[in-house]
């Protein structure tokens, strides 16, 4: 009987550690995705950059025509990273941008990002996961 309880305790510890590591990787990747999207977005008026909105488990619909990134890119990123840090297992991290011309920016209308920014970020996803997992294993 004591052997069984030792196994149960070991499995509980394993599960707890695996959940913590998984959540840390998910939060790290969400923050990296947010950073990539915001930083890669072409900047002219800063309207497109300023209207990236992060949320958990929902698609944010907010858009402010007058919103500009007067506080700099970091201000926008800090909000998104704060939301990423609140993730729980099972949550979905969403970055959305309702700027009317965001589709055109993504598809090459800007000389600053002729290859887009969303598709480039999506293509980097697997590498972001690998790096985050590797960092987690090393800590």
Give this prediction's pTM. 0.85
Measured over the CA atoms of residue 45, residue 48, residue 53 and residue 59, the dihedral's sign is positive
The three-point CA angle 121-122-125 to 5° equals 90
CA–CA distance, 113 with 38 (Å, rounded to integer): 12
Tens digit of pLDDT at every position of the chain (139 positions): 455 578 889 999 999 999 999 999 999 999 999 999 999 998 888 888 888 999 999 998 876 676 676 665 666 788 899 999 999 999 999 999 988 899 999 998 999 999 999 999 999 999 999 999 999 888 7
Tokens of 4: 């069984």
Residues β-bridged to residue 53 = 96
For the chain, the helix, strand and coil percentages under 3-state DSSP, each to the nearest 5: 60, 5, 35
Tell me how far apart the alpha carbons of residues 106 and 73 are, in angstroms, rounded to a whole number: 18
3-state SS assignment for residue 96:
strand
Distance from C-alpha of 86 to C-alpha of 51, rounded to nearest angstrom: 20
**C-alpha to C-alpha distance for 34 and 39, rounded to whole angstroms:** 8
So what's the pLDDT on residue 67? Answer: 67
């Amino acid at each position: 009987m004591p052997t069984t309880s030792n196994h149960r305790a070991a499995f509980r510890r394993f599960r707890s550690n695996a959940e913590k590591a998984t959540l840390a990787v998910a939060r790290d990747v969400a923050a990296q995705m947010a950073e990539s999207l915001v930083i890669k977005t072409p900047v002219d008026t800063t309207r497109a950059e300023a209207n990236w909105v992060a949320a958990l488990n929902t698609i944010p619909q907010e858009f402010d025509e007058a919103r500009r990134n007067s506080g700099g890119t970091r201000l926008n990123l800090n909000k998104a990273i704060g939301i990423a840090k609140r993730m729980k297992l099972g949550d979905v991290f969403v970055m959305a941008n309702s700027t009317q011309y965001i589709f055109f920016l993504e598809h090459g209308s800007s000389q600053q990002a002729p290859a887009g920014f969303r598709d480039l970020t999506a293509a980097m996803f697997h590498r972001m996961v690998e790096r985050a997992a590797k960092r987690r294993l090393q800590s």
